[in-house]
Amino acid sequence: TSMPNFWLGLMLIILFALHWRLFPTGGKFGWSSIVLPAVTVGFGLAALITRITRSSMLDVLRQDYMTTARAKGCSEKQVIYRHGLKNALIPIITAIGLQMSLVITGSVLAETVFSWPGIGRLVYESITRRDIPMVTGSIIMCSILMCLINLFVDLVYAFFDPRIKAQYSKKG
């Protein structure tokens, strides 16, 4: 979590592109050139999602209905996946939604390190060239994308938590 994207990207380039020659150092040369930037951006985000999943599951596992499910004779696998994970998903979905916004708008460093054309790099280059219409359009586009992601996260809440669906389906 504390590892900066640009440092991790440079270390991945040194190991996997220069030392072992498994991937290209940067640019857009097909699917193999996506691997290192994706790992760079996703590594820190995966650590955060893992921490949130762990803390949410620990909270859920202490609940009385988990003990009841075990007492009913459910296997530990059923207790964890059917009862525990389903109830622990709301904070996880929230974190994933917030992280998706950061992936779309905040991967400027990874795009710069890997010479990858992306939204963050476009905004950065537009700011340095003082291209006001492009900066304005990019900010509006990113704002719309973030609103759509938040809408999607709210819709996913209703799918995973029946209490939320029931709250909105009540008639007057």
Domains with residue ranges and CATH for the chain: 5-163 (1.10.3720.10)
Q: What is the pTM of this model?
A: 0.80
pLDDT in tens, 129-148: 999 999 999 889 988 988 99
**Mind spelling out the 3-state secondary structure of 88-108?**
HHHHHHHHHHHHHHHHHHCCH
Structure tokens, 99: 């992280």
Give every CB contact of residue 32 below 8 A, 6+ residues apart in sequence. 23, 24
pLDDT in tens, 47-98: 999 999 999 999 999 999 999 999 999 999 999 988 898 889 999 999 999 8
How far apart are alpha carbons 129 and 124 in whole angstroms? 9
How far apart are alpha carbons 8 and 16 in whole angstroms? 12
